[in-house]
Structure 1
Amino acid sequence: MLDNLLFQLPFIIFIGLFSQWLAWRFRMPAIVIMSIAGLLIGPFTGLVSPKETFGPMFQTLISLAVAVILFEGSLSLDFREIRGFRKSILRISTVGAAIAWLTGSVAAHFIAGLSWPVSFVIGGLFIVTGPTVILPLLRQAKLKERPAAILKWEGIVVDPFGALLALFAYQVVLGIYQLEGGTSLTVFFVSAFLAALLGGLIGFIMGQCLERSLIPEFLKSPLLLAMILLVFAISDAIMHETGLLAVTVMGLVMANMHLTSHHELLHFKENISVILISSVFIMLTSSLTIDILWQIIDWRMLLFVLAMMFVVRPLSIWIATINTGLTLEERALIGWIAPRGIVALTVSGYFATALQEVGFQSAQLLTALTLALVFATVVAHGFSIGWLAKKLNLQASSGTGIIIVGASPFTTQLAISLKNNGIDVLLMDRSWEDLTLARQNDIITETGDILSEHTEFYVDLTPYDQLIVATKQDAYNVLVCADFVPELGRLNIYQTALHSTDPKNYSRKYGGQLLVDAQHDIHQLNELVEQGAQLRQTKITEVFTWKDYLEQNPYAIPVYAITQDGDIVLDMVNKYDDIKQEPHTIISLIG
């Protein structure tokens, strides 16, 4: 049963997603957990062997999955996001990539012992990082806006160019040695241009069709997915590895058309991307053999990996970012973080076979060399990015941050109370006047609509992982909650009680969790504050118990609590019974 395709495919998907859950549950880098899980069920135990089971379909499935992942990443590359630091991204993607290619090739030849032709090819490939490894790290680390955006853009933009550089180097090698299979460089550049043109044209046509409602809602995402795969297949048929460029350009064009359905498409692609990244990592690592793993511990392999991490990457970034406006701390972080992932593994396998077929025997080391670099960078950068960002003061927030939507007497008091307890707070409202009291108390405020495009691209929401919506309009509250569920998760979104006659399942189905309780809506809470009620906090201990507190404050309205571990509890309706027997701090509205 274990070598049955019907069993292995669902099992691989399950192990991948279970690894993602474990990483989330224990706050560990997901790509590290996935890599370990793949080795456990593959070469260490022999439970699965995808390369043998899938046969010729193995590489095809991997390539199609990478195409979808790259498109999903490029679909988030809106040029408005990089206002003020486009120069940095351009220099890193060009000058930095060129330096990394040359120095990486030198390291591959003199340290790893590869021949110059093989080193030249693999040096181009090793400039890639990619969304499969960068995006999970950025979600984990919560970096500040600028370094996070630069790492994301570099990972997505450079990914297809790394494959193209390796292909370019391969064609040059074949031409110099006059070997069969080579094509002229003119054909190579024309093929790359046609791939980019095809991707851009299809992206524009699909964007127009989506915007003009020429495609029904239920077909938008499925049809777009089919077009991604088709564009990739057509480009790859013209010349191998140009498909990655085509789908990246396609996503980039659609991202900057500012489509009204952009968010829906992005959420759909993100869900697929999580499944694909998890499954592909498991498939690749579980297909390795013990022999390849033994090759990794060769001293030349390890020395090459160290050179790539501590010399090639920092040197290329430091030179490329001269006079770009980046701080020393930002350059240090970006110069360290460069994990390699799926594209490096899959494309190196292709070139290892191709180079050996034309007589370059040192290419047999490429798979082990790539695997060593992938594992080392994934583990080192996965565990160090958060620590280093914190040390360099480039972490947006190391603890809980809360956005409060709707400025009023109650929410202003709540923001002040949270701030006094060390919680990062952003109070947002469409009225400048309603935010006056908050500004006077040094609360971070933002005037505008949280659902607007201005907020999306010009307000940094990265430090905030929880949301409280407390405007005077029930329907708007529910709409905001529903919009942020994909980003924050329903358990981190709260809204005040409905004050209209709408049924309760209206907010249960679409909105967030209840803030305070069902008996006090925002109007009643504001009225109590205007009559003199204030948020007061009291420590509940084994000596001064919850019962004693109620006897002294019979009309207190619990708003939130802080546990002994410093965790904030906003879901007082459902969670408070679990903690009220333990020492904690209770913050209540008391008249």
Structure 2
Amino acid sequence: LIISSLFILLAARLRLPDLAGIAGASLILLAATILLARPAAVFLAAVGSDLSRRERLFIGFLAPRGIVAAAVASIFALRLSQEGVPHADVLVPLTFAVIVGTVTVYGLAAPTFARRLNVAQSNPQGALIIGAHFWARAIAEALLQNNFAVVMVDTNRNNVRTARLQGIQAYYGSAISEHIVETLDLHGIGRLLALTPNDEANSLAVLNFSDLFETAELYQLPPESNEAGEEEAFSAQHLRGRFLFGQGMDFNYLSRRFASGATLKTTTLSEEFTFAHFRDLYGETAVPLFLITAEEKLVVATVAEPLEPGPGQTLIALVDEKEA
């Protein structure tokens, strides 16, 4: 809000004739910034880094200017005017012209440029899992075995260490920290699964990552409840994620199932072996958790939308050990 207000205050000092009088100069400066200055700065700064050529090209193409440039230009223009420096009055309109130009060019062209360079994640299907306890790691391993990227976050160092020993990318930290996003490598990650035993922490994690993932891809365990539908009264829907897996499948339920020997079973369905056959084989206690479509899209079971597995799809389900 403060930054927006500052932008308005600085821009209010501009007059249209000021911008019209520097149209040619602003276009030249804009072209020099986009085509020369930014690429040169990026390529020099990236010397010795592990960035690929395509990544360097893309970063070199992005340099939108914003409030810092506007504020600094305003201060410098005021000081230069006081010192009687010629043409100091064109500094602010020239800077704002570059701000508008870079934001417009990059905003319109960046998505296409990223796709052309093949550096954009068109359809990330991996999962960021909050909580790295024993059965959360089992879920992570099942997803990894099916070629989905997985990142885990936990405040328990032993859980993080164990996850890393199992070959899972795991980070020590709090999922509700405002700086956690900066420390995570989320390449290939398209959804969040909050699996901690703390219902409030799960909801806060969902809120913390709500700007990063689509609302439909924010999931958390349902709170412990005794009656059907009671979990819906836990909190407002816009303040939490979609409740995972099924009715009553809270942290304690899943912990008991895994502790008693239940395992995750990956099964590819076909015309000869349908979901009905799967039910006959593994019983009603088998719980479908994830579905992998023929297009390799990961579908997550929720309380509101149970899975509807069909031929050609792969099912990841929780089954009892004696049936596995």
Q: Shared topology, TM-score over 0.5?
A: yes
The TM-score normalised by the length of structure 2 is 0.65
Could you say which residue in structure 2 is the equivalent of 1:469?
194
How much does 1:514 deviate? Answer: 1.5
In structure 1, what is the equivalent of residue 298 of structure 2?
568
Give 2:110's aligned residue.
384
Q: Does 1:480 align with 2:207?
A: no
Instruction: Provide the secondary structure at the position in 2 that maps to 1:313.
Output: helix
Q: Which has the higher contact order (CA 8 A, sep 6+)?
A: 1
SS of the equivalent of 1:488 reads coil
- Partners of 2:280 and 2:150 in 1: CA distance: 32
Is 1:504 matched up with 2:234?
no
Query: Would the alpha carbon gap of residues 461 and 288 (structure 1) be closer, same or farther in structure 2, given more than 3 Å must change?
Result: farther
Residue 402 of structure 1: SS of its match in structure 2?
A: strand
Quick check: 1:533 aligned with 2:263? yes
Percent identity, please. Answer: 22
Asked if the contact 1:406–1:470 (Cα under 8 Å) also holds between the matched residues in 2, the reply is: yes
Q: Which structure 2 residues correspond to residues 129-528 of structure 1 after superposition, within 5 A? A: 302-316=27-41, 321=45, 326=49, 334-341=59-66, 367=93, 373-382=98-107, 383-384=109-110, 388=114, 399-431=124-156, 433-434=158-159, 438-447=163-172, 449-451=174-176, 456=180, 459-460=183-184, 462-463=186-187, 464-471=189-196, 473=197, 476-488=198-210, 491-499=216-224, 504-505=231-232, 507-509=234-236, 511-528=240-257
Equivalent-residue separation in structure 2 for 1:291 and 1:546 (angstroms): 70
1:64-75 alignment, distance < 5 Å: 68-69=2-3
| Alignment CA distance shift 1:448-1:362 (3 Å) | closer
SS state of the match for residue 560, structure 1? strand
Q: Which runs of 5+ in 1 are unaligned?
A: 1-64, 70-272
Change (3 A) 1:553 1:289: farther
Rounded Cα–Cα distance in structure 2 between residues aligned with 1:528 and 1:322: 50
| Cα distance change on mapping 1:533 and 1:308 into 2, 3 Å | closer
Q: CA RMSD in A?
A: 5.2
What one-letter code is carried by the residue in structure 1 that aligns with 2:290? Answer: Y
SS for the counterpart of 1:482 is helix
Name the counterpart of 1:249: none
Q: Secondary structure at the match of 1:423?
A: coil
Partner amino acid, structure 2, of 1:569: V
| Secondary structure of 1:414 counterpart | helix
Match of 1:130 in 2: none
CA distance in 2, matches of 1:478, 1:290: 55
Asked if the contact 1:536–1:587 (Cα under 8 Å) also holds between the matched residues in 2, the reply is: yes
Output the CA distance in 2 between the equivalents of 1:322 and 1:406.
35
Q: Is the 8 A contact 2:73 2:92 kept in 1?
A: yes
User: Which secondary structure does the structure 1 equivalent of 2:246 belong to?
Assistant: coil
Give the C-alpha shift of residue 405 in structure 1: 3.0
- The 1-side partners of 2:132 and 2:65 are apart by 45
2:110 counterpart letter in structure 1:
S
Aligned to 1:574, what secondary structure does the other structure show? coil
Asked if structure 2 preserves the Cα contact closer than 8 Å seen for 1:558 and 1:572, the reply is no
Quick one: structure 1 residues 438 and 313, their matched pair in 2 at CA, closer, same or farther if it must change by over 3 Å? Answer: closer
Letter in 2 for 1:477: D
Distance 2:31 2:125 in 1: 36
Segments of structure 2 that go 5 or more residues without pairing to the other structure are none
Displacement of 1:337 in angstroms is 2.3
Q: Give the equivalent residue in structure 2 for 1:158.
A: none
Q: Is the contact between residue 153 and residue 173 of structure 2 (CA under 8 Å) also seen in structure 1? A: yes
CA contact (8 A) 1:536 1:589 kept: no
Deviation at 1:557, TM superposition (A): 0.9
Is the contact made by 1:478 and 1:512 (CA closer than 8 Å) also made in structure 2? no
**Contact 2:65-2:99 within 8 A present in 1 as well:** yes
**1:294–1:570 Cα change, 3 Å:** farther
Secondary structure of the equivalent of 2:304? helix
Q: CA deviation at 1:559?
A: 0.5
Greater percentage in strand: 2
CA distance in 2, matches of 1:359, 1:295: 18
Q: Give the C-alpha shift of residue 517 in structure 1.
A: 1.0
